[in-house]
Amino acid sequence: MSNKPVRVRFAPSPTGPLHMGGVRTALYNYLFAKKNKGTFLIRIEDTDQTRFVPGAQEYIMDALAWCGIMPTEGPGIGGDFGPYVQSERKEMYRPYAEQLVKEDKAYYAFDTAEELDEMRERAKQMGMPNWQYNHITRTTLKNSLTLPQDQVDALIQNGAPYVIRMKMPRNEDIRFEDIIRGWVVVNTNNLDDKVLFKSDGMPTYHLANIVDDHLMEISHVIRGEEWLPSAPLHVMLYRAFGWDVPQFAHLPLLLRPDGNGKLSKRDGDRLGFPVFPTDWTTSEGELYSGYREKGYYPEAFINMLAFLGWNPGTPQEIFSLDELAEAFTLDRVSKAGAKFDPDKTRWFQQQYLRSKSNAELASQLKAQFQREESEEQLEQVCGMMKERATFIQDILTEGNYLFEKPTVYDEQTISKKWKEDSSALMTEWTAILASVNDFSQEPIETAFKEFISSKNLGIGAVLPLFRLLVTGTGMGPSMFEIAQFLGKEECIARLEAGINAVETLKTNA
Ligand code: GLU
């Protein structure tokens, strides 16, 4: 690596919400900057006014903030290299395009959209479906390379619309080394003369992107693989201006869970998982769901994303953001597409939920769901239920019977465990339980064990019945803990009601 300070950027176009692939790009930039004591900035690339979507920029900033990966330079943040929104830098770009024209590295092209469409159509009919404006066709088109100088001047003078196109040299190999993909070699004969400056007075993405990366002193361009085909042109542009070429790192695509193709924005809700960090509603009122609103913790989302295309080379999977920054290197980013795994994503969420203290979860429950229970009660609930939950709200749904009497009784437990003498057995157990004075876990457990051994029965024959009657379920945390939590009176009431309910079910069956 050179000695230049590390400066990296995330350069989204505000054309809609930020796909999780975009968040991963931002994350890797953030981690790389942190690891190398560099700067991570955000630049909004909004030169294509036709694709501008109101609210998208705010969405992007809000999503990065939720993820905890805010840049230190950018719109609304400040920095010495602003403005950080390209439409606000509009005036800066034309002189660069003009400079290239002067140096015969670019040219004015006056062909109208209709004329170009006609060319394309004619070529198609002649069996050439991929017509391009390139080093061959430019010699017969309406541009400053073919028209006499006075005619060019007159056209410009008279306000004829024109674009500025890159004059791709013939038959030159462009080589650059991508940190992830290794050497890339492309011959200029395979590249077209891309538009650098549009007739609407705006630069294209290509020109604005490299001018800004140069002016903002970007050392490493870390971005999605979909930009790899543009990289040779970008390298040519840097060289045309005589600027240092930043190092490139093109990140692998995110693939659908079945590995079949790119993970697109429509996949999420179709396949049942979000592809956006936070909810987004289109102007037509269509909702795309987000991780935040689904109840994911940003730490879990980020941890999962970090592993989509990167691994630390050790078995460790749970990483805080700081640990990720410490461990992250671009040479451990893979070339191959990264398959998104919704189950693994839920697993990360579970791990983060479990790692929180009961007190932390309890206060989250209280704040989020306005629960009436005391902090202490909620802490006990969290202690019992967090191993069975993925999201905080699952603690309430999974542990519903801690707050309300059961109304249904697990059929499987009834058919497998409820025998003819169960009613009598459980009535006897109810009486014993009623006589336990210190109604806490251990004495309840002792009484239970004494009871089953006096009956010569195993735990497996009696405990499921106890659980069934008190909670209605066939599985859950320690019954002794549940009993203590509910208290004697409630337990006895539930046992009595449960015996009647199950017996009725049995007779009616
Ligand atoms: N504006 C491009 C995008 O929307 C940025 C590509 C790049 O990082 O160079 O992804």
Quickly list H helices, 126-274: 149-157, 205-215, 231-241, 267-271
Residues in contact with 265: Cβ distance below 8 Å, sequence separation at least 6, in sequence order = 16, 17, 19, 275, 276, 288
Pocket test for ligand 1, best of 46, 60, 205 (most atoms within 8 A of CB): 205
Pocket test for ligand 1, best of 32, 227, 245, 254 (most atoms within 8 A of CB): 227
Final residue belonging to a domain, choices 188, 204, 220: 204
**Helices 422-434 & 459-471 angle (0-180, nearest 10):** 80
pLDDT at 441 over 60: yes
**Residue 446, CA atoms < 13 Å, CB-side half-sphere:** 8
Same domain, 504 and 429: yes
Q: Are 299 and 290 in contact (CB under 8 A)?
A: no
Q: Which residues pair with 33 in a beta bridge?
A: none
Same domain, 53 and 107: no
Same domain, 180 and 104: yes
Same domain, 195 and 228: no
Q: Name the strands in the sheet holding 163-166, side by side, starting at the edge strand that comes first in the sequence.
A: 106-109, 163-166, 195-197
* Among protein residues, the one whose CA lies closest to atom 6 of ligand 1: 11
- Say how many Å lie between the CA of residue 506 and the centre of ligand 1: 66
Same domain, 198 and 116: yes
Helix (H) / strand (E) element for 446: namely helix 441-454
How many domains does the chain fold into?
4
Nearest to 401 by CA among 475, 332, 462, 317: 475
Establish if 283 belongs to a structural domain.
Answer: no
Task: Catalytic residue, from 4, 265, 294, 506: name it.
Answer: 265
Q: Kindly give the number of the ligand 1 atom that is closest to the alpha carbon of 25.
A: 8
Q: Kindly give the number of the ligand 1 atom that is closest to the alpha carbon of 22.
A: 10
Estimate to the nearest angstrom the gap between the alpha carbon of 13 and the chain centroid: 16
CATH number of the domain encompassing residue 469: 1.10.10.350
Q: 83 preceded by cis ω (within 30°)?
A: yes
Banded model confidence at residue 508, pLDDT cuts 50, 70, 90: confident
Span 491-509, average pLDDT? 93
Q: Kindly give the number of the ligand 1 atom that is closest to the alpha carbon of 10.
A: 8
> Which residues lie with the beta carbon below 6 Å from any ligand 1 atom?
11-13, 45, 205, 209, 223, 227
Establish if 294 belongs to a structural domain.
Answer: no
The pLDDT of residue 419 is 94
With pLDDT > 90 as the criterion, what percentage of the chain qualifies? 93
Q: Are 444 and 484 in contact (CB under 8 A)?
A: yes
Same domain, 396 and 418: no
For residue 93 the two structure tokens come to 């770009």
Banded model confidence at residue 265, pLDDT cuts 50, 70, 90: confident
- Say how many Å lie between the CA of residue 27 and the centre of ligand 1: 14
The domain of 164 spans: 94-204
Establish if 268 belongs to a structural domain.
Answer: no
Greatest alpha-carbon span in the chain: 112
Final residue belonging to a domain, choices 365, 382, 402: 402
Same domain, 200 and 216: no
CA distance 368 to 316: 32
Same domain, 225 and 190: no
Burial class of residue 62 in the structure, from the number of CB atoms within 10 Å of its CB (0-12 exposed, 13-18 middle, 19+ buried) = middle
Establish if 490 belongs to a structural domain.
Answer: yes
- Give the dihedral of Cα atoms 80, 83, 84, 87; nearest 10 deg: -160
Identify whether 35 is a catalytic site residue: no
CATH number of the domain encompassing residue 21: 3.40.50.620
Quickly list H helices, 173-261: 205-215, 231-241
**Residue 200, CA atoms < 13 Å, CB-side half-sphere:** 9
pLDDT at 2 over 70: no
Establish if 433 belongs to a structural domain.
Answer: yes
Q: What is the pLDDT of residues 220-234, one digit of tens each?
A: 999 999 999 999 999
Give, rounded to a whole angstrom, the gap between the first and last alpha carbons of the chain.
Answer: 76
Q: For the residues of 331-344, what is the DSSP string, one character each?
A: GGB-SS-EE--HHH
Q: What is the pLDDT of residues 326-373, one digit of tens each?
A: 999 999 999 999 999 999 999 999 999 999 999 999 999 999 999 889
Phi first, then psi: what are they for 319, rounded to 5°? -130, 130
pLDDT at 268 over 90: no
pLDDT at 316 over 90: yes
Q: What is the mean pLDDT of the chain?
A: 95
- Say how many Å lie between the CA of residue 9 and the centre of ligand 1: 10
For residue 134 the two structure tokens come to 């390139």
Span 54-59, average pLDDT? 95
The pLDDT of residue 49 is 85
pLDDT at 454 over 90: yes
CA distance 342 to 336: 19
Establish if 164 belongs to a structural domain.
Answer: yes
- Give the dihedral of Cα atoms 199, 203, 204, 209; nearest 10 deg: 180
3-state secondary structure 452-474: HHHCCCCHHHHHHHHHHHHHCCC
* Among protein residues, the one whose CA lies closest to atom 10 of ligand 1: 12
Establish if 436 belongs to a structural domain.
Answer: yes
Report helix, strand and coil shares of the chain as percent, to nearest 5.
50, 10, 35
- Say how many Å lie between the CA of residue 226 and the centre of ligand 1: 9
The pLDDT of residue 44 is 97
The pLDDT of residue 353 is 98
Same domain, 29 and 122: no
For residue 216 the two structure tokens come to 């903002």
Task: Sort strands 338-339 and 254-255 into parallel, antiparallel or unpaired.
Answer: parallel
pLDDT at 1 over 60: no
Q: What is the pLDDT of residues 111-170, one digit of tens each?
A: 999 999 999 999 999 998 899 999 999 999 999 999 999 999 999 999 999 999 999 999
Span 249-276, average pLDDT? 89
Same domain, 500 and 418: yes
Q: Kindly give the number of the ligand 1 atom that is closest to the alpha carbon of 209.
A: 9
Same domain, 429 and 493: yes
Pocket test for ligand 1, best of 8, 32, 45 (most atoms within 8 A of CB): 45
Establish if 339 belongs to a structural domain.
Answer: no
Final residue belonging to a domain, choices 370, 402, 434: 402
* Among protein residues, the one whose CA lies closest to atom 5 of ligand 1: 11
Q: Which residues of 193-209 are buried (b: 16+ CB within 10 A; e: fewer)?
A: bbbbbbeeebbbbbbbb
Q: Are 40 and 34 in contact (CB under 8 A)?
A: yes
Phi-psi region of 262 (alpha: psi -120 to 50; beta: other; left: phi over 0): beta
Same domain, 426 and 469: yes
Helix (H, G, I), strand (E, B) or coil at 276: strand
pLDDT at 386 over 90: yes
CATH number of the domain encompassing residue 118: 3.90.800.10
The pLDDT of residue 270 is 78
Q: Kindly give the number of the ligand 1 atom that is closest to the alpha carbon of 15.
A: 4
